[in-house]
Structure 1
């Protein structure tokens, strides 16, 4: 089969689309004929290399994708050949109340081979059914960001309808999902973006107030918009460049919920502000299977929709990485096996 492969950690020149051995299907696995897949910032970090990430090379990336069941292992009862499925990439002990807290928790595409290939052998526990009327592009690009944003806001921050939320980078992957979820929950939504087009997208998808962070300090803007109060919740996934202003945007007793630091993972922090204003700093990673089911039902019925910035053949995956790294446009970048486009 053909597969996207990272041959070593580095820049986009380490990405190849070439022959790779066909996957063997284990007893509890499903062979997926991949119809479409999508990129996340996670793919950029995995390609570049991170402390503690020890991968066997070449490595197939990809934590988002969807396709048709081609074969099933002897122990699989949930799926049959011909079923439509999408990947939910978090792997934890399902006997735990919260598998994301499993010390061995890991992510398909980051720690183990992913789904950016013509075929992928995936544990049945990591697949979810896709309705017949859902487009492959939607099915392939939704699961990681929507489950992440849902857990952040609904489960971890326990957002209530009467509250206010600031979503940073509201047109990015997690950002555009969080924007829609916060609006759906009935919150007052504040959003930031770097261009007028991104701000218009944010307004069209749930933002009540928008700020161009390239021309205005968003913490000052939030304070002005809220009469000096601040917001109840900040959705933070940028990291070092925005951390201090994110804290400054919160009201007393507010919650900052973070799922990553795409622009820097070790920010300076304001301890006096945290204790004096009694702020909560909440970490969040992926979601439980039940939470995935809850949010994906709302994707499948059209309540939530992924923004797609570009669709490319998998052979152009290096270009797909560049689009995300260079912050070109907004939304998800989808890649499809070249054989699907012929």
Structure 2
């Protein structure tokens, strides 16, 4: 048997979006058997994303009470279906967006899971279980926003980049990747503490976006020979394009992977005249996922983990504490539950 964590309806009914906060519940389910080209994975750690909080608030598409939560996870392959080409055991980190929705019936907040062998990658050996569990969704989103959308020329070897809202998982992975690629990275945050932590991770500097004239302050920080930034990696939206007009070079790129401030962004004529490219960026492709994992392995990159809860998978109070950190914006990096050392389920 296997334990799995779900969200539960209140009084047996779905709640109103944004006005409900679904409780967590644990179910004991049969341990799955791998079929065809599937792998049976004993999961050891899983991490939260904002989508998981939105699911509990009924603010994410396709909310369901019948699929275990969480999209990111790591585990060890313990058996394989009869059509798997290589049945050796390895640490695996998953690719697809999983957990809590009707679009896919898998989630990583459970002890055992079967996945097609094409949907997993060998986790880089230098990562702990918590770090590997923190990598997939944020790593891929950051990789596409930085490398695929901002472009090679604007994301490496002396390029000047702004990463907004440092402290979130995607922003921190974008920082990690950009620094490893030789770019000058500058960050924004409302927290001086988070800016300082980002500098310790390799950022060239940062500003508090609540301060008057923060955009001018950023421009004054540019390295010698640079008059403007090459790209902005943004998860906020709002007035990002208005600020980009002042900050970016002619033909610069603003790569947007989220809109936490506002779901609408006015596109200004100044941006047209400056030939600024605004590129929306979603999670990424299977090919990009493989490239991202290989780059993490090659460059020995470590995802930033804000807090790891080492406990039983059915520690709902502890899990609620991780969700509370996210609700209050306390985290700097990913929030992880590591249940590999405490699981009592038999293989």
> What's the TM-score bracket when you normalise by the shorter of the two chains?
0.7 to 0.9
Quote how far apart the aligned CAs of 1:309 are: 1.1
Q: Deviations over 1:115-144 (max 9, x none)?
A: 111111222111111255532111111122
Q: 253, 256, 259: which is aligned to 1:258? A: 256
Structural RMSD (CA): 2.6
**CA contact 2:22–2:56 (8 Å) conserved in 1:** no
- For residue 77 of structure 1, report the CA deviation from its aligned partner: 1.7
Residues 229 and 302 of structure 1, relative CA distance in 2, 3 Å threshold: closer
After superposition, what is the alpha-carbon deviation per residue over 1:131-166, rounded to whole angstroms, capped at 9, x for unaligned? 555321111111221222122211221132242110
Instruction: Structure 2: give runs of 5+ residues left out of the alignment.
Output: none
Which of structures 1 and 2 has the bigger CA Rg? Answer: 2
Contact 2:33 2:114 in 1 (8 A): yes
Which of 209, 212, 218 pairs up with 1:222?
218
| 1:163–1:188 CA contact under 8 A, matched in 2 | yes
Task: Tell me if structure 2 keeps the 8 A contact 1:12–1:321.
Answer: no
2: CA distance, partners of 1:63 / 1:18: 18
Equivalent in 306, 310, 316 of residue 309 of structure 1:
306
2:11 corresponds to 1:2: no
> 2:279 aligned with 1:282, yes or no?
yes
2:188 to 189, 192, 197: 192
Determine which of 328, 336, 339 is the counterpart of 1:337: 339
What is the count of residue pairs matched by the alignment? 322
CA distance in 1, matches of 2:52, 2:213: 30
Q: 2:130 aligns with which of 128, 137, 144?
A: 137
Assess if the C-alpha contact under 8 Å between 2:124 and 2:296 holds in 1.
Answer: no
Q: Does structure 1 retain, via aligned residues, the 8 Å contact 2:39–2:116?
A: yes
1:127 corresponds to which of 98, 106, 120: 120
Residue 139 of structure 2: SS of its match in structure 1?
A: helix
1:103-118 aligned at under 5 Å gives the runs: 107-109=97-99, 110=101, 111-112=103-104, 113-118=106-111
2:66 pairs with 1:58: yes
> Runs of 4 or more off by more than 6 Å in structure 1?
none
2:162 corresponds to 1:166: yes
